Structure 1
């Protein structure tokens, strides 16, 4: 496997751009849309700027891309109103739209692989068990920070932050959000670590050739 082709990243960039334009054309709430897609707007220039000096594995680029699309869709409708979430709610007879939980699952899934790639490639942590522990701690720290941002938004915006918070009347929403991020991190480590290791080794060999 070679370094992730630039053409693939261009495709992801164009697809993300189209999704951003479509979601931002007439979002349910403009302020909520901006807050939800802000991570995408921040990530795009960082990923583009680091492509040559610190190219990521193709697996990680795909995970970040999918996470971005989830954020963009949630921003367009607000998480409590995403249509596919209502479909799932009806199928499983749930009490609320579960799309928010998908977002928080990926808030653990993608960052777990990001943290794993950085820690391994910079040789910051040794030992598989300690690596997994540190990754989970990082994901929970990110999730907790996001919940603090939501809290700050609620204090600043008052009722105007309801769409951003998306609690849907659940008093345990904060705790369940962090729990789903934890599940996402563990799932990423269990399902993708072997595949990730293969791509990390291949990209290491490729970079040595420069």
Structure 2
């Protein structure tokens, strides 16, 4: 477990460093607070539960990756991420697609976290019901986030434009939830066997 502990320390230290960079002169300070708040809340939860309910290395690595996506989006805003601006201009795309990537990860990463929690703390076994419930959880998370965006937009008006990142698309909310659904399904298809192997090793070596 020593190698896992070293990995976790590295992930924590690097995400703190990236958070510091993200908060330095962001494109829009209000948007930064709104976008990175889930990272800080998640970090606190993971730190407080580390000894009582430690996750697999795969789960922590995916959480780290999702946090980086949020921190980069918070720094530039999702509509102005430079690499995706370049892709938009180079390939004559209709928008900056970084927010689409963010919502894909909003399904991809929670799918593995929900799968791990359910397998370790519920009567559910691997199978169709586990897949169905994990996908439902991911869709619920996506819908809840869209409700938060709605309330923020109502409360702050024009100040929430960068947070919403609709870029003029009237179907942006539906696209966001569809991409979260796609991310969850993709995660379960691609990562489940790897996750199963890590769970098996982790549960046998758990101190």
User: TM-score, normalised to structure 1's length?
Assistant: 0.95
| Cα distance, 1:94 vs structure 2 | 1.4
Distance in 2 (CA, whole Å) between partners of 1:171 and 1:79 is 17
Q: Structure 1 unaligned segments of length 5 or more: list them.
A: none
1:121 equivalent in structure 2: 120
Distance in 2 (CA, whole Å) between partners of 1:13 and 1:144 is 28
| Cα distance, 1:98 vs structure 2 | 0.2
Distance in 2 (CA, whole Å) between partners of 1:136 and 1:33 is 28
1:35 equivalent in structure 2: 34
1:103-138 alpha-carbon deviations (Å, 9 max, x no partner): 000000000001000000113423510100000000
Distance in 1 (CA, whole Å) between partners of 2:70 and 2:36 is 6
1:59-86 alpha-carbon deviations (Å, 9 max, x no partner): 1100000000000000001000001111
1:6-64 alpha-carbon deviations (Å, 9 max, x no partner): 22111111111111111111001111101100011011121122222111111110000
1:194 equivalent in structure 2: 193
| Cα distance, 1:153 vs structure 2 | 0.4
1:55 equivalent in structure 2: 54
1:81 equivalent in structure 2: 80
Task: Give the number of aligned pairs.
Answer: 207
Distance in 1 (CA, whole Å) between partners of 2:128 and 2:90 is 38
Which stretches of structure 1, 4 residues or more, deviate above 3 A after TM superposition? none
| Cα distance, 1:5 vs structure 2 | 2.0
| Cα distance, 1:3 vs structure 2 | 7.3
User: TM-score, normalised to structure 2's length?
Assistant: 0.96
Q: Structure 2 unaligned segments of length 5 or more: list them.
A: none
